[in-house]
Amino acid sequence: QVQLAESGGGSVQTGGSLRLSCEASRNHDNDHCLGWFRQRPGKEREGVASIFTRGGVTYYLDSLKGRFTISQDSAGNTVYLNGDRLTSDDTAMYYCAAFEAEYWYNCRTLRKDDYNYWGQGTLVSVSS
């Protein structure tokens, strides 16, 4: 069982940055893939980035790579999402998600159906 709680959303000016946090309550006897997803108004939920808790290997949606960075604390209890040069197109509900994974390459997925634990989301609104 994994419980996830996002924080850090709010209003951001165009061109600004965001830093979201996700507190993950999980069994540390197992490794997990932790991911960030977002759902923009009128769009499907899409994966942004993922990270494997053992070793911190990351994986990104190609179109967002370079502007968004996923990271975790040393204990694998908190995962972060940093985003830069935000535009109105980044306005979305951002979700943290997780699934139990045995190997780092299991985490090379941003398919929402692969993730079976979800947080409630945090809203980011970008405007000028």
H-helix or E-strand spanning residue 8: none
For the chain, the residue count is 128
Q: How far apart are CA 68 and CA 70, in angstroms?
A: 7
Q: Tokens 């997990």 appear where?
A: 32
Return per-residue pLDDT of the chain as tens, 128 residues.
899 999 999 999 999 999 999 999 988 889 999 999 999 999 999 999 999 999 999 999 999 999 999 999 988 899 999 999 999 999 999 999 999 999 999 999 999 999 999 999 999 999 98
